[in-house]
Structure 1
């Protein structure tokens, strides 16, 4: 496995959506998420991390060291138990008995928590990257239950306010025989954002990578590829056309960084062109990075 990363990174993901719903809000009938005070569109960090996980799961196909912890179809407890099995710990159905067993094992092996944490980090890419709360270990009073990952993402926010639209659609097929006697089609609706450019900010701590999860240079390269291509395996009619347009990476010269993250993000400029009234494509925006605001010790990489 490659060496653990030694540099702090900050990064910004610029992506757009055309005639789609980038992130529906279940509390609002699945309408696109919007800041009610400004009208700017919002995409949650959870939504973006889901797409990164799905990309890695697709390209690695369960390869050793690149399994995905947060994934539909397999319970988290079952994945947690794989760590117990690796250390030949028999799982007790009675919670109190299991807690007593773990307590006894930790007396003979004080490093058991660290060994289990390291095993889970080595097995699962998303734990190694984003961290996780592993309830099986938490329930058994183990310190390895909560892992803070080195990679963290913010909510994405659109550059300009968006105007979600409700589009009525019809279906020529009906569901039941009784429906067929009374109607020839059925109606429904879908919500879209006609167009919007979003930006999400991210942070990578080399300090946490070294001390906790072992996030490596190979993991970092995979993460960049996953971000750039995270919408390519996720196309759906409901999401319209989504694409990552720019990935701006700030590489610090050391583990702890050379300047505050916000100063680097302030160097990114995305503005609608003066002659554009209503933006409907990425070319309607001017994109630039003011390198004069970036310290010499920080390398700026644009993908």
Structure 2
């Protein structure tokens, strides 16, 4: 398998993309820069749950509705061989895992990795009080009052890589990457909870190279967000300049095999000063649209 690099954007409106347990579950923030942060583990959780809902077994999940540790999860395995694990657990093929078992610890380094996501815009937090119909203590006739923290609007960007060398070791399949593409388009919407409703995927690129050596670097360094109004609150109030990114890809076209993509029409893309459709500016590449 060859190397791949990934750019992924989704937005969050009046929701909590990734609560910080050390901050009363407030959205994770770089307060100095007013930037919203989302961990790679949060993104992987969406992907895992989506794949599990499709019928693919995963390693990192609950058992019989209960949270278990890694050792507890392995107790349900029919076998504990490398062949069985890599054939049956798609998230191990993708993300790797450590399986601590007294007699035979197994560690797999996942070929698919993301760094932390961050917002392209400055983000404001919304804090409100919420009241439950259930009391905080038995005998208390009033409902419990808590805090609800959300972002007003955040356009979040992730960068990821697929290591061709590591893919060989975990036996990652081309079909797995096709499922990853679909998960990036559908998982966030389909895995929505009360605090996560309001998130939508806006842009996805998976650039597949011709070898297992090529790395062009973090694609987020080559995109620029423009805000049409102060205090952005909606996807229609921004545009994304992809000129440098497209030029980066064109200049390395001989290293690229295919480009897998989807682009939401609501996100305005700009190339060389004009609004464009992504498929048009990348028309010279072997394009595969994620359906």
TM bucket normalised to smaller: 0.7 to 0.9
The equivalent residue for 2:153 is 195
Superposed displacement of residue 233, structure 1: 2.1
The equivalent residue for 2:79 is 86
Superposed displacement of residue 165, structure 1: 1.9
| TM-score relative to the length of structure 2 | 0.79
* Residue 165 of structure 1 pairs with residue 121 of structure 2: no
Q: State whether residues 132 and 149 of structure 1, in contact with CA within 8 Å, keep that contact through their aligned partners in structure 2.
A: yes
Cα distance between partner residues in 2 of 1:232 and 1:190: 21
Cα distance between partner residues in 1 of 2:46 and 2:138: 40
The equivalent residue for 1:266 is 221
Long gaps (5+) in structure 1: 1-5, 61-65, 88-115
The equivalent residue for 2:253 is 296
Cα distance between partner residues in 1 of 2:12 and 2:226: 15
Highest RCO, 1 vs 2 (Cα 8 Å, sep ≥ 6): 1
The equivalent residue for 2:89 is 124
Q: Deviations over 1:50-94 (max 9, x none)?
A: 11000000012xxxxx311000226432543466x537xxxxxxx
RMSD of aligned C-alpha atoms?
A: 2.2
* Residue 278 of structure 1 pairs with residue 231 of structure 2: yes
Q: State whether residues 165 and 192 of structure 1, in contact with CA within 8 Å, keep that contact through their aligned partners in structure 2.
A: yes
Long gaps (5+) in structure 2: 263-291
Residue number among 150, 160, 174 corresponding to 2:111 in the alignment: 150
Cα distance between partner residues in 1 of 2:88 and 2:18: 29
The equivalent residue for 2:288 is none
* Residue 179 of structure 1 pairs with residue 140 of structure 2: yes
Is the strand fraction higher in 1 or 2? 2
Residue number among 218, 240, 258 corresponding to 1:287 in the alignment: 240
Q: State whether residues 130 and 148 of structure 1, in contact with CA within 8 Å, keep that contact through their aligned partners in structure 2.
A: yes
Q: Deviations over 1:132-155 (max 9, x none)?
A: 01111xx43x4x611101100111
The equivalent residue for 1:91 is none
The equivalent residue for 1:90 is none
Cα distance between partner residues in 2 of 1:31 and 1:202: 25
Q: State whether residues 118 and 213 of structure 1, in contact with CA within 8 Å, keep that contact through their aligned partners in structure 2.
A: no
* Residue 26 of structure 1 pairs with residue 10 of structure 2: no
Cα distance between partner residues in 2 of 1:287 and 1:23: 23
C-alpha spacing 1:157/1:179, structure 2 compared with 1 (3 Å): same
Is the helix fraction higher in 1 or 2? 1
Number of residue pairs the alignment of both structures matches = 252
SS at structure 2 position matched to 1:86: coil
* Higher Rg of the two aligned structures: 1
Q: Deviations over 1:123-181 (max 9, x none)?
A: 10110110001111xx43x4x6111011001111011221222111234565778433x
The equivalent residue for 1:226 is 183
C-alpha spacing 1:301/1:287, structure 2 compared with 1 (3 Å): farther
* Residue 236 of structure 1 pairs with residue 196 of structure 2: no
Superposed displacement of residue 253, structure 1: 1.6
Q: State whether residues 189 and 197 of structure 2, in contact with CA within 8 Å, keep that contact through their aligned partners in structure 1.
A: no
| TM-score relative to the length of structure 1 | 0.76
Q: State whether residues 132 and 148 of structure 1, in contact with CA within 8 Å, keep that contact through their aligned partners in structure 2.
A: yes
Cα distance between partner residues in 2 of 1:22 and 1:28: 14
SS at structure 1 position matched to 2:30: coil
The equivalent residue for 1:73 is 63
